[in-house]
Amino acid sequence: MRVERFVYDAERKITGLEFTDVISNTRYQVKSKVIINATGPWVDTLRSSDQSLQGKHIQHSKGVHLVFAHRDIPLKHAIYFDLPDKRMMFAIPRNECTYIGTTDTFYKDSIDQPIITKEDIDYLLNGINQMLENGNVRKEMILSMWSGVRPLIYEEGKNASELSRRDEVLISPSGLISIAGGKLTGYRAMAEEVVDLVMDGLALNSAKCATKSIKLFGGILKLKMMQVFV
């Protein structure tokens, strides 16, 4: 499905949206009392189409991770440490691999396919080699890599690693509810915040978000693993 545009009433309040089924190339229109913009790095893109990109806005930050064979970085436990530039780095063993990360740099290119540069790779290799005794981790050892874009709230005068990871709800004059910032690990708390806000707005106060009591499929963690991160 591809969203085409928001639908408004005479007072320019959002009442729904139009979308296209890209398989059948059929366009549909749906109505809703509330529209939530929870699109991560694309939050401001939707706010722009709503003509409500004012005040606070998103600052994209890129994070890169590298994956190695466990024999090349044979850690028994997850570790994290500070680098000379005061940014934090971690290395986590997982089955037959160990992955390291992360970079934290302002990013202005395509958020659909965030590129990984030579500078990103060199930064991570230098970081892990500074930490390991007799570190000799080389780019030839990299098995795979991935990158992503963080949708952080812009703050004047701060670099990417200094920007707060807090989430924030932004409500447009049209009624569009956008949630921005935050971290992947806090997604359930962010969802609860928005759901409760919507329920209160619809006078459905008894229908609070129940995410705290819902167990995730496959989410059973061994106590030993949990202790690593305490």
How far is it, in rounded angstroms, from Cα 194 to Cα 168?
10
Q: What is the pLDDT of residues 11-39, one digit of tens each?
A: 999 999 999 999 999 999 999 999 999 99
Q: Which residues contact 121 (CB under 8 A, 6 or more apart)?
A: 64, 66, 139, 142, 145
In this predicted structure, what is the pLDDT of residue 173?
A: 94
Which residues make up the CATH 3.30.9.10 domain(s) of the chain?
Answer: 59-158
Distance from the Cα of residue 52 to its chain's centroid: 22
Those residues whose C-beta lies under 8 Å from the C-beta of residue 85, and which sit 6 or more positions away, are none
Phi, psi of 44 (to 5 degrees): -70, -25
User: Which 8-state DSSP code applies to residue 160?
Assistant: G
Of 218 and 81, the structure prediction assigns the larger pLDDT to 81
pLDDT at 165: 76
Query: How confident is residue 154, by pLDDT bands cut at 50, 70 and 90?
Result: confident
Provide the phi-psi class of 86: left if phi over 0, else alpha when psi is between -120 and 50, else beta. left
Q: Is the pLDDT of residue 230 over 60?
A: no
**Superfamily the domain 59-158 falls into:** D-Amino Acid Oxidase, subunit A, domain 2 (3.30.9.10)
Instruction: Please count the other Cβ atoms lying within 10 Å of the Cβ belonging to residue 99.
Output: 19
pTM, to two decimals:
0.79
pLDDT over 90, % of the chain = 52
